[in-house]
Amino acid sequence: VEFSGPFQAVGDDKQEKNMGPPAFVALVSLAERSAGVGRSRSCRARAADEKSYSRVGYSLIQFLLGLQLESRVGTGTEWSPELTKLTYSLAFGCKRIHRLLDMAALRDEQFVLTRANSIMKSSLWRHNRLAVISSQQEYKALMVGENLAEEFVCVFNPLDCYDGVKAGIPSATTFGVYRRNLSCLASNFESKINEEEISCLQTTLQPGSSLLLAGYCTYSSATVLTLCVGSKVHIFNLDDEIGEFVLTRENVRVPDKGYTYTFEESLMPTWSDNLQQHILKLREQEGPFGESYESR
């Protein structure tokens, strides 16, 4: 069906014409403006020069709509409406866990862990393009989709490091999203597990390089959501007043020069001699920048 009249898109980009009925066109225009992305050629020009504008202060949904629109005109990371919905479902689960932890010190640890797991599952369960979800709290992955049309796999740990909450140590929800892959399972598994377990393993045993989206949400004095989209990392803080994650830092990178290191030092005797010597040099001001490093 073609549409014409005063609401028809204007411009020489044929893909922008005949977009739909007036209400839909108006909604798309509003979404594009709220996401800070221009239309047609102006969108390509702005997205090509990331330094020309900042998205700090955007809500999560505005940011995701921006990715979606940039992808549509071919100037940004490949991003679909389904990924927008899935990311927002994950963020919604994190907001619910944030509320759960407000009174966590008064509750049994196992109850909180079980409840956090249920929250993440329920937040993801009804996503219509999700095939499998796999939680660190459960022995088996869960088949959510009923046919091969579902294309995404989500793996998550609903609440990591919760045993330190009563001591004021931050806890976190971690997650990753893959595209469904039916050919990644090693051979000789068929005789040991059933057909459903094989299908789950085929979709969840994938390398990190296959991730479409990865991130974590830390719960402490502030609730902070960190997202890795494509090759870029963005940080959002939860604004309790409006109940939304707001972009506070974009395109975060590891600094070229640092002064801290962190790892499980109790395992140091098991490391190679070269690695042990490197750490000792960092402590003794013999590192690459001639200054001592601190352990975190």
pLDDT in tens, the chain (296 residues): 333 333 333 334 444 444 444 444 455 555 555 555 454 444 454 444 544 578 899 999 999 998 888 887 666 677 888 899 999 999 999 999 999 988 766 678 888 889 999 999 999 987 767 878 889 888 777 777 665 556 788 999 999 887 766 667 789 999 999 887 665 444 554 555 565 555 555 566 676 777 889 999 999 889 999 999 888 999 999 999 999 999 999 999 988 777 788 888 888 899 999 998 888 888 777 666 667 787 77
Instruction: With respect to residue 246, please indicate whether it lies within any of the assigned structural domains.
Output: no
Number of domains in the chain: 3
Minimal CA–CA distance to 268: which of 281, 258, 279, 282?
Answer: 279
Instruction: With respect to residue 141, please indicate whether it lies within any of the assigned structural domains.
Output: yes
Do residues 57 and 176 share a domain? Answer: no
Do residues 86 and 68 share a domain? Answer: no
Strand partners for 225: 217, 236
Do residues 143 and 177 share a domain? Answer: yes
Instruction: With respect to residue 131, please indicate whether it lies within any of the assigned structural domains.
Output: yes
What is the C-alpha to C-alpha distance for residues 45 and 55, in angstroms, rounded to an integer?
16
Domain end point (choices 212, 230, 248): 230
What is the C-alpha to C-alpha distance for residues 24 and 246, in angstroms, rounded to an integer?
26
Instruction: With respect to residue 253, please indicate whether it lies within any of the assigned structural domains.
Output: no
Do residues 269 and 205 share a domain? Answer: no
Please compute, for residue 171, the number of CA atoms within 13 A of its CA located in the half-sphere on the CB side: 25
Do residues 115 and 195 share a domain? Answer: yes
Do residues 66 and 90 share a domain? Answer: no
Do residues 130 and 61 share a domain? Answer: no
Do residues 169 and 265 share a domain? Answer: no
Do residues 62 and 185 share a domain? Answer: no
Determine the length of the chain.
296
Domain end point (choices 40, 72, 104): 72
Do residues 92 and 167 share a domain? Answer: yes
Q: What is the pTM of this model?
A: 0.70
Do residues 39 and 129 share a domain? Answer: no
Instruction: With respect to residue 32, please indicate whether it lies within any of the assigned structural domains.
Output: yes
Q: Are 158 and 136 in contact (CB under 8 A)?
A: yes
Classify each residue of 115-151 as buried b or exposed e, where b means 16 or more C-beta atoms within 10 Å of its C-beta. bbbebbbebbeebebbbbbbbeeeeebeebbeeeebb
What is the C-alpha to C-alpha distance for residues 102 and 122, in angstroms, rounded to an integer?
20
Q: Are 246 and 237 in contact (CB under 8 A)?
A: yes
What is the C-alpha to C-alpha distance for residues 212 and 234, in angstroms, rounded to an integer?
14
Q: Which domain holds residue 118?
A: 81-230
